[in-house]
Amino acid sequence: QVQLSESGGGAVQAGGSLRISCKASAYSYSSYCMAWFRQAPGKEREEVAHFEANGKTIYSDSVKGRFTISQDNDKTTLYLQMNDLKPEDTAMYYCAQENPQVLGTALMCRGRYDNWGQGTQVTVSS
């Protein structure tokens, strides 16, 4: 199975920026269906952003306009650029991927992520 490894987390003051990365051990079809999640202490895990198979990006309302999800050209590294960080963004951030459904010549992501990284901590102070 492809291994996912996050990096780049750290401590930053409110209003600052941080870019976290997720390196996949190999390219696979799952590279088309990747997402960032986060989980704060005492809270449920929430999706932050994801790629649809056609390359469209989807963001949660809480980060829209501040965070940008991207991939490098060979789709082995996923990024999350986080700007204008707020204390409520403090959480462990995880990348995830799923095997897409193949429909003829098209791929479809179903939101059933089954491969996860170990997480990277982001702490935003006020």
Distance CA 41, CA 51 (A): 26
Percent of the chain with pLDDT over 70: 100
Answer yes or no: are the C-beta atoms of 30 and 51 closer than 8 Å: no
Distances (CA, A) of 104 to 34, 98, 100, 108, 113: 21, 18, 12, 10, 22
Q: Quote the pLDDT of residue 56.
A: 95
Q: What angle do CA 30, 31, 36 make, to 5 degrees?
A: 100
Please determine, for residue 124, whether its predicted confidence score (pLDDT) is greater than 90. Answer: yes
Q: Compute the average pLDDT of residues 34-43.
A: 97
Residues 6+ apart with CB under 8 A from 82: 17, 18, 19, 20, 63, 66, 67, 89, 122
* pLDDT at res. 81: 98
* pLDDT tens string 100-109: 999 888 899 9
Q: What's the mean pLDDT when you consider all of the chain?
A: 96
pLDDT of residue 126: 94
Mean pLDDT over 7-25 rounds to 98
